[in-house]
Structure formats: C-alpha cells, structure tokens
C-alpha cells in the first residue's frame, strides 16, 4: 500500500458548511453540523462518563494508551 501524507486544514464554519453541502447534505443541516463541529472544537463534548465501565466492567482506556498498546496494528512493513 502506498503511503501518502495527511494534512489538516482548519476551515471556518461557513467553509465547512459549504463543504458538507457540496457532499449533498441539505444546506440547513450542513450549517447545523458545521456549527456543532465548531462547538466541539471549543470543548462542548469534553466530558467523562461511566458507561464504558458499567457495560464492560473495566475502566476505559484513554486514547494514547490504547494506541501505544496496539501500535503494531498501525505500522506497516
């Protein structure tokens, strides 16, 4: 598999809404999604719950620890 670089481009709410609309999402919904993404980028979804432990009986793993424990799955050749 050929590797290719990945880059992040920060878009304004308006640019993101236009991009979503370009994918065929209705404009009002595209705007709502873009505004939700903006709110998330400012921490609106930064919270911890107990659901994982309640369902699995184990404490949740933070992402960095999960990635470190499974790093072999993300490396090629």
Per-residue pLDDT for the chain (77 aa), expressed as one digit of tens each? 678 888 989 999 999 999 999 999 999 999 999 999 999 999 999 888 899 899 999 998 888 999 899 888 877 65
> How confident is the model at residue 65, as a pLDDT?
92
Sign of the C-alpha dihedral computed for residues 42, 45, 50 and 55 taken in this order = negative
* Residue ranges of domains in the chain: 13-71
Give CA–CA dist 38/53, Å, rounded. Answer: 29
> How confident is the model at residue 1, as a pLDDT?
66
For residues 21 and 27, the answer to whether their CB atoms sit within 8 Å is yes
For the chain, give percent helix, strand, coil, nearest 5. Answer: 55, 0, 45
pTM of the complete model = 0.62
Give CA–CA dist 44/38, Å, rounded. Answer: 9
């Amino acid at each position: 598999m050929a590797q290719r670089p990945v880059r992040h481009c920060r878009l304004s709410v308006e640019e993101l809404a236009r991009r979503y609309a370009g994918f065929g999402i209705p404009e009002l919904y595209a705007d709502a999604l873009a505004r939700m993404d903006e709110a998330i980028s400012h921490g609106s979804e930064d919270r911890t719950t107990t659901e994982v432990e309640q369902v699995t009986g184990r404490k949740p793993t933070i992402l960095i620890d999960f990635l470190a424990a499974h790093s072999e799955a993300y490396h090629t050749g």
